[in-house]
Amino acid sequence: MRYRRLRLAGATWFFTVVTHRRQPVLCRTDVLRILSSVLREERLRRPFRVPAMVVLPDHLHCLWTLPEGENDFPLRWRRIKAKTARRVAADGGRRHPFWQARYWEHLIRDETDFSRHVDYIHFNPVRHGLARHPVEWPYSSFARWVARGAYPADWGSTPPDLPPHVGRE
């Protein structure tokens, strides 16, 4: 049976993307540099906004908002994953496969759903025991949200109200 993804133009999506066999390589300086560069390139080629993102050693979570009239996030992910894998291998890093073949997506339905997923993204390093507070984790959009006044710097002392379907990482 072929998996069919829902596609909705101009929508906001939550994604979980995982490394092959959960190899803890994403927070290496060389891999972060490559991933960041590839994301920037793809956003220039096929625009999308990234309201929130966190990179952990073996997976990442992010929200993407596609432009009006655009619905092809699978193409974007295919290109990002392929380019990242090729460049990491060319840089002397891990050979293919670098990523798990699939990723998980969730259509953001409303402002409450959006807020809960942003909280999930920012609380994820705490949830995995990588930091005691979200502000301590450097590979996250949390500091950007604090700078805009959306969160106090000490947010996350207690677990937020997280979406029930998230956490299948």
> For each successive 10 residues of the chain (169 residues), what is the average pLDDT?
62 96 95 97 97 98 94 95 94 78 94 95 96 96 97 87 62
Q: Which amino acid type is present at position 129?
A: G
The DSSP string of 86-101 is HHHHHTT-PPSP-EEE
- Cα dihedral 130, 132, 138, 143 in deg (nearest 10): 140
Determine the pLDDT at residue 164. Answer: 65
The whole-model pTM stands at 0.90
Determine the pLDDT at residue 108. Answer: 95
Beta strands in the chain (DSSP E): 12-19, 49-55, 59-65, 99-107
Question: By three-state DSSP, how is residue 40 classified?
Answer: helix
Residue 139: active-site member:
yes
User: Right CATH number for 12-147 from 3.30.70.1290, 3.40.50.620, 3.40.50.2000, 3.90.870.40?
Assistant: 3.30.70.1290
Determine the pLDDT at residue 160. Answer: 80
Determine the pLDDT at residue 166. Answer: 60
Q: Which residues contact 47 (CB under 8 A, 6 or more apart)?
A: 67, 70
Return the domain boundaries, the chain.
12-147
Residue with tokens 């069919």: 4
Determine the pLDDT at residue 162. Answer: 74
Question: By three-state DSSP, how is residue 22 classified?
Answer: helix
Determine the pLDDT at residue 157. Answer: 80
Write down the catalytic residue from 3, 103, 120, 139.
139
Determine the pLDDT at residue 5. Answer: 59
Tell me how far apart the 2 most distant CA atoms of the chain are, in Å: 47
> How many residues are listed for the chain in this entry?
169
Are 118 and 145 contacting, i.e. CB atoms less than 8 angstroms apart? yes
Separation of alpha carbons 110 and 87, rounded Å? 37
